[in-house]
Amino acid sequence: MPKDKGLHPTASTQEPIKRVFSVDDDIHEIQHDIQYLEGLQDGLKYAVANKKAGGNHTPSSPTPPIRPSSLKHRQSSLSISEDNDRIVIHDGDRNLVLGDEEDQSSVGSVESYTLRDRQDAINETHPFGIRIWKPALYKKHRSVQRAAAEDIHETKYKQIPWKVSVSNFIWSCVIGIPLFGFLSLCSMLVCVLGLFTTSAREYATVLFKIGRYLLCPFGRVVLLMNDQQYLQEDQNEGISVEQFYGWVTSYSNRLFFHRSQTSPSSYGSINNEHQRRLFGRGKWSLGRLAFYLVFYVLVQPLIFILAGLTWLIVFTIPMSNIMWNLMYHCRRHPLALDIKQLSHTPSDVEDKAVLLCTFRCAGLHYYKYTVDGTNVIVMNLVAVVIFTIIEFYMLQPILQISESTIFLMCLVSIIPLAFYIGQAVASISAQTSMGLGAVINAFFSTIVEVFLYCIALQQKKGLLVEGSMIGSILGAVLLLPGLSMCGGALNRKTQRYNPASAGVSSTMLIFSMMVMFVPTMIYQIYGGYIMECVGSSNSKKERCYFHQPPLKFNQLYIHVIKPMSIFCAVILFFAYIMGLWFTLRTHAAMIWQIPERQVSTNVNQSTDIQDEDEAGGGHDAPNWSRKKSTCILLGATLLYAVIAEILVDCVDNVLKQFPSLNPKFLGLTVFALVPNTTEFLNAISFAIHGNVALSMEIGSAYALQVCLLQIPALVVFSLLYTMNFIPSDINIRTQMFSLVFPRWDLMACMLSVFLFTYLYAEGKSNYFKGSILILLYFVVTLGFFFQGAIDDSDWSD
């Protein structure tokens, strides 16, 4: 394999594009890169020729372009288009803009950027102090969303696979049969309450049909019978049976997309534009009164509970949607509903519209389902948050629930809250000025964890806080980049990146480590040591040990350590402000000075052949508006504060049940890693998609947040909290955060940071380097476990 591979175009006077290949690359990866570069060079040649040809003709005599302004290379996903005298080269998520340098450097000559542009720019330039976020902040038409709508609005007569048939059979046995029996009893109750009148029998038949449908809804259609009196109201409900069967019996499956051309909803979706009806329509009768009494008291609560449970299971979302839609139509027009078995040819279906049709009760692809850009699994975990709060404050005193169980539920509850806080902060940052976004990120990303640690300090759990700080740094510089490198190796043997992209972060990371441990080094040098000698009374030989006494309120602490800790905390915070000023003001990129532009869903006039996910320009609209993001941010922060207080209250019980578990080790592992689950998932996702440099930047950015924001905040809080205490009654190690760490903490953090920056500076990522970082993390963590064992035991014998 040659070391250098030159790629020469067939007709070009420019120097060839070169790419260095080595044994770090697989052969198929090299071939893919060669094809990409060849396509890039050919595309540039045609685009430049087209630009020159377009600039030479006059408006009075238009000249056709040499080549269409949008093209795709036959062996690559490259597409090239012209936009405002600029040549834009698209390749997946990568965009290269060519044009006049003066235009690119001038803010006034470029229009405002969309939300997608701003998020892409944040993720490409990763400015200091701005949250990097992987999930899209803009609306995306995901394939799983379309599949979810199609699962309950089928448009093709299907042969059900055996796996789907098994899940459908389980549904019928476990849920369908009991539900059918319950609804049958409810239909009898309607007849009794309605005194067996004609209307009562009609409404009772509706419940019986619904029960029989939910027993086995697969391959059956829910129909809406047309009523001349309500044609205007029902015009958007479903689709005609003739049209439905026209698509069912055809080879194509385009009904869902046919409706989406005029409306983003599917044919059976709920339309909220018409009149709200809670008690049906038509004349009131005794049967109607009995039906809605039974419906609202018995039927709807049970169905909603089942719909909620099937939604929480995630994989059974189709049945959740079926039951939710079915209850909606029962409230509006129960007597107009009819249910038929789906067949190849329509029969007795005139003047009816199709509302629902499904062939499956579950699907494995639903783990990717999103609601307003939020994954459904994360969304469902909010239920754990609510249940944990209710369990601790209401159920625990009555049922005597184990605090260890509540502790585990608190850890799970932190994950969705951290996600919502991160999503809201990233959304606000992308929709506002970068300065405001940096302030919001600094405050809300810090306050939630600082609040947790402040509660721990008030309860004399300083070792827990100390371990959490050290564990957060080690996880950010060892475990997170290590997992990211290994994750990136799943798709490519070696990932290359520009080591200069570390920029300000790497420099500030080393600086913050040095400043943070200055009080520790002063105490280690000038704090003094105690020598203890142990030996038998009959022997002249004694074994002596040196150890450093615990930090106390002595002259060294009052006149040296305390002022130095305050000064270092101020310097760390000032370094954060200086970093923001450097990256967002004096050396800001052009995009940070331009307001975000909202784009409607029909402004996309590009002639490129786009994927369905990209069509329509819907990506520019935010998932969460600024108002919604602010409300979610405040609500999630409040819930996080409640969960943090419960979590700290349950720590003592966990330590009692596991005596060998040291508080510092608990903070080093559980308290340091669980709140950062979102950061880990974002980093690994970036690495798997080929951007390992951004994954490592996420790690260094979080480590900087700990060093430059959380640690100064804890130093200030501990001083204010103990201000009115009697000095002799204060245990500095358990009640304060003094910036004085043990020697093992100092060595572990310094060596880990230097190894991280060294590997980052090489500009290459592979599983070997990632494995080294992960192994070092485990070694250092085991060292902390033995550190706790040494501190708690007597090793003199």
> What's residue 139's pLDDT?
67
pLDDT tens digits along 666-686: 999 988 888 888 888 888 888
Task: Tell me the mean pLDDT in the region 276-284.
Answer: 81
Q: Taking 60 as the threshold, does the pLDDT of residue 137 lie above it?
A: yes
**Res. 399: pLDDT tops 60:** yes
Mean pLDDT of 381-403: 88
Asked if the model's pLDDT at residue 60 lies above 60, the reply is: no
760 or 502, higher pLDDT = 760
503 φψ region: left (φ > 0), alpha (ψ -120 to 50), beta (else): left
**pLDDT band at residue 625 under the 50/70/90 scheme:** confident
HSE of 319 in the Cβ direction (CA atoms, 13 Å)?
Answer: 29
How remote is the C-alpha of 339 from its chain's centroid? 40
Rounded CA gap, 509 and 702, in Å? 10
Q: How far apart are the C-alpha atoms of 143 and 132, rounded to whole Å?
A: 25
Q: 207: pLDDT confidence band, cut at 50, 70 and 90?
A: very high
Q: List the structure tokens of 201.
A: 């029998």
CA distance 133 to 533: 56
Q: How confident is the model at residue 616 (pLDDT cuts 50, 70, 90)?
A: very low
Least confident range from 81-95, 418-432, 613-627, 693-707: namely 81-95
Tell me the mean pLDDT in the region 461-474.
Answer: 92
Residues 6+ apart with CB under 8 A from 471: 667, 668, 669, 671, 672, 673
Per-residue pLDDT band at 569 (split at 50, 70, 90): very high
Long-range contacts of 598-607 (CB under 8 A, 24+ apart): 598/114, 598/115, 599/114, 606/70, 606/81, 607/68, 607/69, 607/70, 607/81
Taking CA atoms, 615 is separated from 141, 143, 336, 370, 609, in Å, by: 8, 12, 37, 19, 9
Residues 453 and 448: their CA atoms lie apart, in Å, by 9
405 compared with 344, residue with greater pLDDT:
405
- Other Cβ atoms less than 10 A from the Cβ of 163: the count is 11
Assess whether pLDDT exceeds 70 at residue 56. Answer: no
Lowest mean pLDDT among 38-42, 56-60, 744-748: 56-60
Q: Which residue, chain included where needed, has tokens 């310094």?
A: 750
Q: pLDDT per residue over 451-464, tens digit each?
A: 889 999 988 888 99
- Average pLDDT value over all residues in the chain: 75
Span 655-670, average pLDDT: 86
pLDDT surpasses 50 at 169 = yes
Please give the residue that has the higher pLDDT: either 314 or 131: 314
Which range among 16-20, 296-300, 726-730, 785-789 shows the weakest confidence by mean pLDDT?
16-20
Mean pLDDT over 736-746 rounds to 90
Indicate if the pLDDT at residue 208 is higher than 90.
yes
**pLDDT value of position 54:** 53
pLDDT at residue 677, rounded to an integer? 85
**Strands 596-597, 113-114: parallel, antiparallel or unpaired by DSSP?**
parallel
Burial of 559 (0-12, 13-18, 19+ CB in 10 A): exposed
Cα dist from 579 to 439, 506, 507, 510, whole Å: 13, 12, 10, 14
Write down the pLDDT at residue 39.
61
Is the four-CA dihedral 277, 280, 281, 287 of positive or negative sign?
negative
How far does CA 60 lie from the centroid of its chain? 54
Backbone angles phi, psi at 373, to 5 degrees: 80, 0
pLDDT value, residue 68? 39
Residue 46 has pLDDT above 80, yes or no: no
Name all domains of the chain by residue range, CATH numbers in brackets. 4-80 (no CATH), 143-367 (no CATH), 427-535+542-594+633-792 (1.20.1420.30)
Query: Is residue 279 within 8 Å of 285, Cβ to Cβ?
Result: no
Work out whether the CA dihedral 333, 334, 335, 341 comes out positive or negative: positive
Give the pLDDT of residue 177: 94
Q: Is the model's pLDDT at 264 over the cut of 80?
A: no
pLDDT at 101: 38
Q: What is the pLDDT of residue 537?
A: 57
pLDDT band at 657 (very low <50, low <70, confident <90, very high): confident
Residue 89 tokens read as: 């080269």
Residue 286 has pLDDT above 60, yes or no: yes
* Pair 224, 355: CB distance under 8 Å: yes
For residues 685 and 145, which has the higher predicted lDDT (pLDDT)? 685
Tell me the backbone φ, ψ of residue 547, rounded to 5 degrees: -150, 155
Residue 109 clears pLDDT 50, i.e. is over it: no
Please report, to the nearest 10 degrees, the dihedral formed by the alpha carbons of residues 398, 403, 408, 413 taken in order.
Answer: 50
More confident site: 679 or 518: 518
Assign 252 to helix, strand or coil.
coil
H or E element, residue 764: strand 764-765
Greater model confidence, 119 or 617:
119
Please give the average per-residue pLDDT across 533-544, as a whole number. Answer: 66
Burial bucket for residue 614 (CB in 10 Å: 0-12, 13-18, 19+): middle
CA pair distance 462, 781, nearest whole angstrom: 19
Say whether pLDDT at 93 is over 50: no
pLDDT at site 473: 93
Q: Tell me, rounded to whole angstroms, the distance of Cα 792 from its chain centroid.
A: 40
- Highest mean pLDDT of the ranges 132-146, 260-274, 406-420: 406-420
pLDDT over 60 (residue 86): no
Lowest mean pLDDT among 185-194, 264-273, 562-571: 264-273
Burial 309-333 (b: 16+ CB within 10 A, else e): ebbbebbbbbbbbbbbbbbebbbbb
pLDDT of residue 148: 63
pLDDT at residue 402 greater than cutoff 90: no
Contact 208, 183 (CB under 8 A): yes
Q: Which of 189-198, 199-208, 722-731 has the lowest mean pLDDT?
A: 722-731
In contact, 695 and 497? CB cutoff 8 Å: no
Kindly state the average pLDDT of the residues 34-61.
56
Of residues 742 and 249, more confidence is placed in: 742
3-state SS, residue 355: strand
Q: What is the mean pLDDT of residues 500-515?
A: 79
Q: What residues are paired with 545 via a beta bridge?
A: 532
* pLDDT value of position 180: 93
Lowest mean pLDDT among 11-20, 307-316, 346-355: 11-20
pLDDT at 291: 92
CA distances from residue 477 to 381, 416, 418, 681, 702 in whole angstroms, order as listed: 28, 23, 20, 15, 9
Hey, is 337 helix, strand or coil?
strand
Whether 37 has a pLDDT exceeding 70, the answer reads: no
Q: pLDDT at position 678, please?
A: 83
Helical segments of 669-729, H only: 672-673, 677-688, 692-705, 711-721
Euclidean distance between CA atoms 476 and 487, whole angstroms: 16
Q: If you average pLDDT over each of 209-223, 348-362, 425-439, which comes out highest?
A: 209-223
- Mean pLDDT calculated for residue range 548-574: 88
